[in-house]
Amino acid sequence: MKTVYDFTVKDRQGSDVSLSEYRGKVLLIVNTATSCGFTPHYEPLEEMYRDMKDRGFEILDFPCNQFANQAPGSDEEIHEFCTLKFGTEFPQFKKIDVNGETADPLFAWLAAEKPFEGFGKGLKLAALKKFSDMNNKQFGEKAYIKWNFTKFLIDREGRVVARFEPTADMKEVRDAVVAAL
């Protein structure tokens, strides 16, 4: 059975990083953007990271510009924004695609393990779904991720145990991380 440890990704400098380096840790893998309405999620993410990194928790941040061009900067510009505005300390990787023919294999696998089940209910969520559907039409069946700040929780054995859409309450995400630890 495949696990997250079977994947290799690129760090901000373009060097290969085997995710097996995170073996035995609880991971939260997130596709992010610096100019999105969900960008403030960096704050509770960093708080979770600081509170729980000593217990074997890591957040792996993958910037992506496929959603309305909301992460237009270079890898270094994105990193500088995140560290200066939100004080982020968790690992940030090279900007990637999460959808389409050029989708990073990690995100295609994550989405296959925990497919999209919807954004929830309400007017804001309906509006996001409409915008997401329009944006992701270009990717067809390979629209694995629906919007920025989709989060995947990985247990200590490297299995995907939960998927949180950007509309999920961050307290719910935190509670799931605590339970996984």
* Catalytic residue list: 36
Phi and psi torsions of 117, nearest 5°: -120, 5
Half-sphere exposure of 181 (CA within 13 A, CB side): 18
- Helix-helix angle 42-52:170-180, to 10 degrees: 20
Phi and psi torsions of 57, nearest 5°: -115, 135
